[in-house]
Structure 1
C-alpha cells in the first residue's frame, strides 16, 4: 500500500515545518525520523492521529504533532489524520462517544431542553461530561490500536505480495 499511496497524500515537509502553530516546536521538527515513511512510522502515525481525532479539544493538530515527535513516528500523517474529525463528522462521532460512555457507566441518556443560559450549560456539562469523556477515551484507544494493527497488517501483506510477484516473474 501503502507507501506510494501515503507518500502521494502526505503534505510537503516544508509546509509542515513552516506552519505557524507548529513552529513553536523548533529544531525538533527537523528530525529526519519524523519524515520517513516505513511500516513502523506509518502504523505509529495512524495510532497517534486516530487517538487525537477523538480528543474533544481545540488544536488537536498540535497535540498530534507533539505526540508524533515524542514517539518519533511520521509527523505529517499524524497531523493529517486528526482531520477525520471535522465540522461534518464531529457531531455524529461525539454523539456516539456520549452514547458509548453512557452505556459503559450505566447511566441513562439525558436529553434536556436546550436553553441559552449559563445555568443550563453548567447542568448539562455535569451530567453529560463524564460519559462523553469516557466514550472519547475508549474510542480513541480502540481506534488507535485498531489503526496501528491494520496498517501493520496491510503493510506486511503488501510487501509479501510484491515479493511473491517478484519470485513469479523470475
Structure 2
C-alpha cells in the first residue's frame, strides 16, 4: 500500500523536533495532522504543493510548509511536491504558463529573445508581466484542483477495489448456505 511506502520515506517527526535549526517552530511540528496520511490531508497537500510549485520565486517549499500548517495538510508531502519544479523544468513550465496567459488575454505571444541578464529581466519582463502572471495563476489553480480531486478519486477507487477484494475473500472463506430440504429429512 502507498501509505506504508510514504511512511518509510517521510522524515520521523520526533527527529525533526530535535533538529537544532527547527527549534524555533516550537510545538508546531508536534501537531499530529501534519503527519497523517488520510484522504483529506493527502489531497490538501497535493493541492498546496502543486499550487506552490508554480510560484516563480525561490523558497517555494517554505510557502508550501506554511500553507500546510495553516490548512492542516500533510507537511512532508506538500513540501516534496514543490520540487516538481527545478532549474530544468521551471523554464518550460513558466513559458507554458506565459502562453496560457497570452492566449487568454487575447494577444499573440511576444516574440522576445530571452537573455539571462538583469537588463532583460527589467526591460523584457515588463512587456509580458500581465499574461505571465495570469498564466501562472491559472495553471497553478488548475493543477491544484486537478491534484486535489485526483487524489480524492484515486483514493476512492483504491478503497472500492480493496472492499471488493475483501468481499471476494470473505465469500471464498464462508461455506455455502445449507439447503433447507436436506435438513428436513
RMSD, aligned α-carbons: 2.2
Q: Distance in 2 between matches of 1:19 and 1:91?
A: 35
The corresponding residue for 2:42 is 42
User: Could you give the per-residue CA deviations for residues 139-162 of structure 1, whole angstroms, max 9, x where no partner exists?
Assistant: 010000010011011111111211
Q: Which has the higher contact order (CA 8 A, sep 6+)?
A: 1
Q: SS at 2:124's partner residue?
A: helix
* 8 Å Cα contact 2:13/2:29 also seen in 1: no
* 8 Å Cα contact 2:64/2:79 also seen in 1: yes
Q: SS at 2:37's partner residue?
A: coil
The corresponding residue for 1:28 is 28
Q: SS at 2:139's partner residue?
A: helix
Q: SS at 2:140's partner residue?
A: helix
After the TM superposition, which residues 137-156 of structure 1 pair with which residues of structure 2 at under 5 Å, given as runs? 137-156=137-156
The corresponding residue for 2:71 is 71
Aligned residue pairs, count: 169
Q: Distance in 2 between matches of 1:71 and 1:19?
A: 26
**Structure of larger gyration radius:** 2
After the TM superposition, which residues 123-138 of structure 1 pair with which residues of structure 2 at under 5 Å, given as runs? 123-138=123-138
Structure 1 residues without counterparts, runs of 5 or longer: none
Q: Distance in 1 between matches of 2:5 and 2:116?
A: 47
Q: Distance in 2 between matches of 1:19 and 1:51?
A: 29
Structure 2 residues without counterparts, runs of 5 or longer: 171-185
User: Could you give the per-residue CA deviations for residues 105-124 of structure 1, whole angstroms, max 9, x where no partner exists?
Assistant: 11222233456765543221
Q: Distance in 2 between matches of 1:30 and 1:77?
A: 16
The corresponding residue for 1:103 is 103
* 8 Å Cα contact 2:13/2:30 also seen in 1: no
TM-score normalised by length of structure 1: 0.88
